[in-house]
Structure 1
Amino acid sequence: MLCSMIMIEYLLENYIIWPWDITDESNKHMLIEIWKEMFSNHFPVDLTMKECPMLIGVMRRSSEEKDSFLASSYEFKILLKGDILMQTHRKLNLETLSDILFTFKEEFDENEQYLSFNFVKKTSLCWDIILEITKYLSLNDAVTIFSIDILHLLRKYKVRLPIVEPSDRFMKTMIKNIDNEQIVSLHLKENQLRSTIELASASIFTNIISVTLINLQHVNQINEFQTCFPNLICLSLCYNNEIDFHRLCKIFNHIQNPIKRFEIHCDYILCSHRHTSHFFSKINNLKFTIEYFLLDMTHGSMTWINNCS
């Protein structure tokens, strides 16, 4: 399969290939020693003839994944072991092999593009100015622009920044390097809520006092995520368009202690004027701790108030 002309041409055009034959035991030991010398790391898997052919992808480790306990600056991915593609666990054939090679090439190119940009070196700005710039950024954007080095500076000067719509990659690799005292605010889309919580340790969210959710449709999720943020006091719900008045009332019914500040931002309120008094009575009977409520309508009018009162 690897020796087909189509595959050979693709590999030569898109990859730097380093083939090695371990049929002879001395060759196997030589490969292990060369690997250790090149990458300052042991060979990533047990090297046996039963596992061959084997295809290993190598890329530079991104700055956000670097750790002082990691000996190597490189990341290794086992793409093929025997006749099984390790990333998808599919059987080897020309199509599946092409897919896995294409995917790894995309990851490699994206990673190199990310590593090639060093804002600090390119701009020659002093750290005082950089610190001032970060005050207008989210924490994940600050790390992306200035690399992991910015965390020490933020910690030193006790700068707290929000995490805004983080990628899964950020939550998997970067969040563990951040002091939980630096994270006090989250800004998420509804479809990011569950993955963001699952990809990080619960202790990360201990000091979060403010959460903003974009286009939350399933209001029962409010109770679910509130348990993850024990010190939450401010909740903001933002909608890119209108929100139904009855849904608004249901949201109130799902608010639990200890939220003190509650905000809803939307285009306008849509009300069908049915059973409105019933919904109002439910809200009036609630005993929650909200001290401040903001309803911000971009294109609001007094019509709905007059019709529903």
Structure 2
Amino acid sequence: ENDPIRDDTESSDDDYDVTPASPVPEEYQDEYTAIEAMHKCFYRRYSACPAFYVGSLIKACEAAFSSAMIEERRPVLAYIHNDKSKLANIFCSDILCSATIIEYLLKNYIVWPFDVTLEANRNMLTNIWQEMFQDQLLNDLDESKYPKLIGIKRIAQAQQGDSLVFGYQPKLLLEGYVLVRNQKISNREIVANELAIFKKECDENEQALSYYLNIQARLGRNAILRIVKYITLIDAINAFTINILLLLSESETTVEICDPDILFINTILPKLKPNQGVSLRLTPIWYCTEQDLSRLISFSNIITLSLLNFQDKELIIIYQNYFPRIESLCLWWDNEINFTLLRDLLGYLKYAVKRFEVHCPGYVCPHSIPDQCGTQFFAAYRIEYFLFDLSNFPLPPTSDCTEQLPSCFLITTVNLIKSMPNLQYFQLITNVDSISKLLDLNEWIRMTSYCPLLTKITLRLLGHMELDEEMSHNIIEIQNKLRSLPRKTHFQVIFN
């Protein structure tokens, strides 16, 4: 199916002479002369010719994308010819100069040709190519690699203020008689399909550019940058197209990277400066290997690490070795967690970690696990802020023993905080129904005895309720007592 398609007017391979009757090669002074000569030669040889753009390559690209209407913009197709290649004349006769391909190109592409049979012409094209693309794609002396079809699309290269600076990007589609994308031997149908694929890619790219410019005009760059602060980098790309990277790079906005795969690491991250990646979020779908992490090594400015449904405690050491500047560790679970895991994790934290967050829907009562309450804790000396967030779809505790020991959860939490001697701020977010179990004055005093630097405690309770006289009295008593201590710890209860 990959053999060239012929019609009744085409000659067979046996009687087709690949030696040109009228050679194309001449040493050209400029692109205009070269293209006009190729156009005349093609008509002599094949009695047909695509509509070649007569002018420089940069002018061809400008003409291709100059229309205000997206539907009228077209990619450029560079056809590079070498008369010494036996495949060149077969390709032109059977495919490029066929009526179906000529008609398709006329409607969908601007075709820019060049002949590199002679060294002088090849050098001319090499200079043109390097000036436009800084690319060595055409620095090829192998005659079997010709002809070449190269698609050229427009890309945004940089952002200056509210404007984009555009450039052009080449993509090799065909080399010799073989498609680059899938290594298929070319015929008319296969080449036409490949041209349609690249045209669709360019159309989608132009639509993305237009969408980005429109949304930037409506929202303004400052609003976009504020939004990006609250979402991951991949979410920002999905929301604003890949062109958002230009604005992020120009403004040096810091970003959060989530589950980066090889393609993301190799194609997206190089468009940003290494100091822009400050936060890394990993979920269970990201199968971590040290090779994966090594690809992120240039982003040495990672200071926040967020892990979802994390279980392998020893990975904490590996993450901290690769990202030694991590100051904030955020752990998220979809299910209940137990205090044993949290206690063990603290033993793996290095001195750099100052902020420790736990987000989960509930907890396993510590008394349901033998020996959990009496186990010795490791000291996490540098933690200054601890957030314990139980607001993620709050669940009742498993094996709840608060009927017998109302302060069970608070006691175990204080035991955990015991290993954070430099703690300055503790915040607990939970359901409003838990308030009666959190007003044990002695436990709050015990917490301050373990954490002499503790200056602020916040209970943030979800839901609304009318405080009875006893609860109000207990809250005020805790506030007054903690303020009277040498550290004057501030205790507040907030209802949301």
Query: Normalised by the shorter chain, which TM-score bucket?
Result: 0.5 to 0.7
Counterpart position of 1:286: 378
Secondary structure of the corresponding residue to residue 118 of structure 1: helix
From 320, 329, 352, the counterpart of 1:226: 320
Counterpart position of 1:137: 228
1:39-79 CA distance string (max 9 Å, x none): 4656623154211343323222343699xxxxx92222223
Counterpart position of 1:300: 395
Kindly report which structure 2 residues correspond to 1:88-237, keeping only aligned pairs within 5 A, or say none: 90=183, 92=185, 104=198, 107-116=201-210, 117-119=212-214, 122-123=217-218, 125=220, 130-131=221-222, 133-138=224-229, 140=233, 141=236, 144=242, 148-149=246-247, 151-152=249-250, 154-155=251-252, 161-165=254-258, 171-173=265-267, 175-176=269-270, 178-192=272-286, 194=288, 197-200=293-296, 202-206=297-301, 208-216=302-310, 218-237=312-331
Counterpart position of 1:252: 345
**Residues 295 and 4 of structure 1, relative CA distance in 2, 3 Å threshold:** farther
Measure the CA separation in 1 of the matches of 2:295 and 2:190. Answer: 29
Q: Is the 8 A contact 1:119 1:145 kept in 2?
A: no
Aligned length: 288
Measure the CA separation in 2 of the matches of 1:107 and 1:249. Answer: 49
Q: CA deviation at 1:22?
A: 4.9
Q: CA deviation at 1:235?
A: 0.7
Measure the CA separation in 1 of the matches of 2:270 and 2:322. Answer: 17
Kindly report which structure 2 residues correspond to 1:53-72, keeping only aligned pairs within 5 A, or say none: 53-63=147-157
Q: Is the 8 A contact 2:152 2:171 kept in 1?
A: yes
Q: Is the 8 A contact 1:171 1:196 kept in 2?
A: no
**Residues 65 and 91 of structure 1, relative CA distance in 2, 3 Å threshold:** farther
Secondary structure of the corresponding residue to residue 163 of structure 1: strand
**Residues 47 and 278 of structure 1, relative CA distance in 2, 3 Å threshold:** farther
Q: CA deviation at 1:252?
A: 1.7
Measure the CA separation in 2 of the matches of 1:100 and 1:84. Answer: 11
Secondary structure of the corresponding residue to residue 228 of structure 2: coil
Percent identity for Structure 1 against Structure 2: 22
Measure the CA separation in 2 of the matches of 1:19 and 1:92. Answer: 23
Q: CA deviation at 1:102?
A: 6.9
1:7-50 CA distance string (max 9 Å, x none): 98699389527385859548964982796499465662315421
Secondary structure of the corresponding residue to residue 306 of structure 1: coil
1:213-270 CA distance string (max 9 Å, x none): 334454443222221221112111223x214538835862673212232222223346
**Highest CA radius of gyration, 1 or 2?**
2
**Residues 273 and 137 of structure 1, relative CA distance in 2, 3 Å threshold:** same
Measure the CA separation in 2 of the matches of 1:190 and 1:260. Answer: 25
- TM-score using structure 2 length: 0.45
Counterpart position of 2:29: none
Q: CA deviation at 1:132?
A: 5.4
Secondary structure of the corresponding residue to residue 111 of structure 2: coil
Secondary structure of the corresponding residue to residue 349 of structure 2: coil
**Residues 232 and 34 of structure 1, relative CA distance in 2, 3 Å threshold:** closer
Q: Is the 8 A contact 1:256 1:288 kept in 2?
A: yes
Unaligned runs of 5+ in 2: 7-94, 161-165, 409-496
1:80-135 CA distance string (max 9 Å, x none): 333555445x454789979976765554344323222215763384xxxx335523
Measure the CA separation in 2 of the matches of 1:37 and 1:260. Answer: 50
Counterpart position of 2:335: 242
Q: CA deviation at 1:175?
A: 3.8
Counterpart position of 1:69: none
Secondary structure of the corresponding residue to residue 300 of structure 1: coil
**Residues 238 and 100 of structure 1, relative CA distance in 2, 3 Å threshold:** farther
From 42, 49, 56, the counterpart of 2:143: 49
Q: CA deviation at 1:286?
A: 2.4
Q: Is the 8 A contact 2:359 2:389 kept in 1?
A: yes
Measure the CA separation in 2 of the matches of 1:251 and 1:63. Answer: 48
Query: What residue identity is the alignment partner of 2:246?
Result: I
**Residues 224 and 35 of structure 1, relative CA distance in 2, 3 Å threshold:** same
Query: What residue identity is the alignment partner of 1:285?
Result: F
Measure the CA separation in 2 of the matches of 1:228 and 1:220. Answer: 13
Query: What residue identity is the alignment partner of 2:222?
Result: L
Unaligned runs of 5+ in 1: 67-71
More displaced, 90-99 or 173-182? 90-99
Secondary structure of the corresponding residue to residue 170 of structure 2: strand
**Residues 113 and 234 of structure 1, relative CA distance in 2, 3 Å threshold:** same
From 337, 359, 383, the counterpart of 1:265: 359
Secondary structure of the corresponding residue to residue 204 of structure 1: coil
- TM-score using structure 1 length: 0.65
Q: Is the 8 A contact 1:238 1:265 kept in 2?
A: yes
**Residues 84 and 112 of structure 1, relative CA distance in 2, 3 Å threshold:** same
1:145-176 CA distance string (max 9 Å, x none): 75524544x45xxxx63324386666435544
Q: Is the 8 A contact 1:210 1:235 kept in 2?
A: yes
